[in-house]
Structure 1
Amino acid sequence: MSAQLRALAAEICYQVIDQGKSLSDALPKGQQKLAFAPDKALLQEICFGVMRQLPQLETVCQQLMDKPLIKQLRPLQFLIYVGIYQLKFLRIPDHAAISETVEAARLLKGQNLTKLINAVLRNVQRKPELFDFSQASSAVQFNHPGWLISELQQAYPQQWQAVLTANQQKAPLWLRVNQQQISAADYLQALQQAGISASQPFAYLPVAIKLDQACDITTLPGYAAGWFSVQDAAAQHAALFLAPEPGEQVLDACSAPGGKSCHLLEQTPGLQLTALDRDAQRLQRVTENLQRLQLQARVVAADVLDTASWWQGELFDRILLDVPCSATGVIRRHPDIRWLRKKTDIAPLTELQQQILQCAWRLLKPGGTLLYATCSVLPAENSAQLTQFLAQQNDASLLPLPELGSSSWQILPGEQDMDGFFYALLHKAA
């Protein structure tokens, strides 16, 4: 089983880096092939770890191999990274890590490479100096692509290193208590009785609870009864900032997987909410979440830009616009993003964001509010978008964000243990 697990890890990492698949797609398919929960957790730990440390793993290999494995042998190159990651970063006994990794090579049709893999891993075991990267490039030192490091250095000259360091940390498990089912105070008590330590870091956001240790959420009190959802505290600010009133028509324009839609309905019963998304498959998650939490909304599979296909002509009181973005603020949760995202992706994304913003603005009532949000840390997707939009729309102005007072908020990864996020609240003149 252990050799199979390592072979699966190598195949998943190969699919992400060489074939451009996301870990969110590739990892669950791999986990389905394992029977036991601890094995599934270890598979995730290894795949996430290889994504986090990839440049350093590659650099170590360059010192120990004449040339990297290519073509049909590429999965075996990733198997070597899997082996090195275990030796360096996991509490697996060295002999087990080496023998199981070598055995996994046979499962990947690499019988004739077992001696090479064994030799590389034994060298890693014997030579800790291989992991001295003090003279290496910043891309290797910080385990991020060079283009992203440059963007962060430019945007955050004082904080770029802190952002890169935060991206390397494991993200905490945040819950959002469903106040329609149970109060936050009662839920904290239920966690305490179950022996799970947790805290409420934000007085103004009492439904946000942070667990001291991550766990299998299906084992938490009230999972099946819809007492809570998993949602980072940064994302939980959306409902607070939009602050709709009962009876209002609200549009969540890019709603999948539905966390913010559900939060709006939990916070304000009696909302007339339209949850819209162009991805019908991801929209299925919205429907499932609504059912589990016992909430109701109009769920529509359509592109917000194609208003003729879905809009019924009634203007919305409030609009939540969590636009498609680079996701550079959630790298600690999705460590593959740094390798899947390219510098050339940013310009088309910013163009799309501006189109969606302009389109949504036309659907907003005079006197209404629109909350613009991204899980990005790049100014091109955030502050620059607002500057461009406000220059073109003379009926648009910024409002102070509730509880903060400022008109926009760039949260950096790790700030108060949250994901990177951006918010700005826009008001349409009456």
Structure 2
Amino acid sequence: MNIRAIAARALGPVIGRKESLNTALPRALQQCQESDRALLQQICYGTMRFLPRLSCLANQLLKKPFKPQDQDLYALVLLGFYQLLEMRVPAHAAISETVEAASQLNKEWAKGLLNALLRNLQREQGALFEQLSEQPEFHYNHPQWMIAKLQHNWPDHWQAVLEQNSQQPPMTLRVNQQKTSRDNYLQQLRDAGIAASATLYSTTAIQLDSPVDVNLLPGFAYGFASVQDEAAQLSAGLLDLQPGQRVLDACAAPGGKLCHILEHQPDLSHVTAIELEPNRAERIEENLSRLNLSAEVIIADAASRTWWDGAEYDRILVDAPCSAAGVIRRNPDIKHLRQNEDIKPLAELQLAILDNCWQMLKPGGRLVYATCSVFPQENERVIERFLKTQTDARHLPIEANWGIERPYGRQLFPQPQGHDGFYYAVLLKDQN
């Protein structure tokens, strides 16, 4: 089957805000040969990465919008535009393959329209870019609400964040220090012909010069390394884990930080992982199994205590559900699927989870609050609101050479060929 047709079928529901790319793409990958999967993935991710800009072009060239039942055709137009503007596919091949995909979608009638739109873009690209250059969505390749919010929240950083969000992220590994050292694993990578270097901030992180299939990584199947962004690897150190402690990882899927906790301090007495979604809890179990680690995984709501047996924890990680605005490079559909009105309910949920988990923390214990967001509404303002109601909570400033210090916690922004956007705050519970 035509790869463009498979991509269009996958992207239609994502563009229609009915599915995420993480849900739609795995099904699409199963429909094509292994040799075509990299191309399919590139087309899908690339189209979503440049969707605001591509949509501006489509709106300029289309005389009328597609009907809802023809969302796959609209996706075909956008992915055709993406190929012409951003990929190295020869223009004639991109056009012919994209036009032919309409037949595979049983929409033969649209081939003439597709051909005209793609050739118009090819012919009028310069003029179109000039006409659209003043539109923020086109210029910054983000929805208007997100541009305005970032500009308001981060007047000194917003343009750099927007720029990074349109880039492809690096591939970063977490070395399992129970199996090997970072220096030893760097040597193993060199021996395998994989160029890589140690990162600046996490002592367990290695960044590859170019992404590779995980099956090519030395000892990956045996748990020598995992794929995890450097910013996400900072949580284990902030928890200040000690032997014999009871640890709770709330909202634990897919289990990267949980596994890092277990690798970082193998002599913990008990580790509990909470995850609301059963299918995401399966990902936790898969990661634990590959790394030969064990934890108690409970399918439950981190904002509820119905699952809790009353035994308090020495350390708690609240990796709260968020807008994921700091990891748009890895999940480019976020800037399309998220809406401004989503942020307030997310902040309320974050505060509810934080309040709930606080009751499970021992006096003298430590809680680390984390999100992969760059919006203060989900980060420092949640901590500020929390501290106003919890009289036994104390904010501990983070002394670090990463991110920027905030009134509460530290904020990381996505970096060129570096870590993603992230936020951390550390809270201590007063002794009775």
Aligned to 1:140: 138
Residue 60 of structure 1, CA deviation: 2.1
Counterparts of 1:28-427 in structure 2, within 5 Å, are 28-37=26-35, 39-129=36-126, 130-132=128-130, 135-202=133-200, 205-271=202-268, 272-308=270-306, 310-401=307-398, 403-404=400-401, 408-414=409-415, 417-427=418-428
CA distances 1:359-409 after superposition (whole Å, capped 9, x unpaired):
111100100000010111111111111111111122111113254595611
User: Which range is displaced more, 172-181 or 394-403?
Assistant: 394-403
User: Which range is displaced more, 69-78 or 262-271?
Assistant: 69-78
CA distance in 1, matches of 2:191, 2:254: 31
Contact 1:133 1:141 in 2 (8 A): no
Contact 1:234 1:419 in 2 (8 A): yes
Supply the AA of the counterpart residue of 2:424: Y
CA distances 1:160-195 after superposition (whole Å, capped 9, x unpaired):
111100000001000000111111111100000011
CA distance in 2, matches of 1:59, 1:408: 38
Change (3 A) 1:350 1:63: closer
User: Which range is displaced more, 20-29 or 133-142?
Assistant: 133-142
Counterparts of 1:12-23 in structure 2, within 5 Å, are 12-23=10-21
Residue 206 of structure 1, CA deviation: 2.3
Supply the AA of the counterpart residue of 2:56: T
Contact 1:241 1:402 in 2 (8 A): no
CA distance in 2, matches of 1:415, 1:393: 38
CA distance in 2, matches of 1:5, 1:236: 36
Residue 134 of structure 1, CA deviation: 5.8
Contact 1:408 1:423 in 2 (8 A): yes
CA distances 1:29-80 after superposition (whole Å, capped 9, x unpaired):
101111124x111111111111122232222223333212213222112111
Supply the AA of the counterpart residue of 1:40: R
Residue 19 of structure 1, CA deviation: 4.1
CA distance in 2, matches of 1:277, 1:168: 30
CA distance in 2, matches of 1:58, 1:338: 13
Q: How many residues align?
A: 425
Change (3 A) 1:96 1:404: closer
Contact 2:175 2:205 in 1 (8 A): yes
1:307 alignment partner, SS class: coil
Contact 1:240 1:402 in 2 (8 A): no
- TM-score norm. by structure 1 comes to 0.95
2:220 alignment partner, SS class: coil
Aligned to 1:11: 9
1:195 alignment partner, SS class: coil
Contact 2:53 2:139 in 1 (8 A): yes
CA distance in 2, matches of 1:347, 1:428: 27
Residue 135 of structure 1, CA deviation: 3.5
Give the percent of matched residue pairs that are identical in Structure 1 and Structure 2: 49
Contact 2:172 2:205 in 1 (8 A): yes
User: Which range is displaced more, 416-425 or 398-407?
Assistant: 398-407
Task: Give unmatched runs, 5+ long, in structure 1.
Answer: none
CA distance in 2, matches of 1:125, 1:403: 49
User: Which range is displaced more, 130-139 or 218-227?
Assistant: 130-139
- TM-score norm. by structure 2 comes to 0.95
CA distances 1:202-228 after superposition (whole Å, capped 9, x unpaired):
2x6221000010111122111111111
CA distance in 1, matches of 2:336, 2:79: 17
Change (3 A) 1:13 1:136: farther
CA distance in 2, matches of 1:122, 1:51: 21
Change (3 A) 1:426 1:416: farther
Task: Give unmatched runs, 5+ long, in structure 2.
Answer: none
CA distance in 1, matches of 2:276, 2:78: 37
Task: Report the RMSD for the aligned CA atoms in angstroms.
Answer: 1.6
Residue 229 of structure 1, CA deviation: 0.6
CA distance in 2, matches of 1:243, 1:218: 32
CA distances 1:16-39 after superposition (whole Å, capped 9, x unpaired):
0114200000011101111124x1
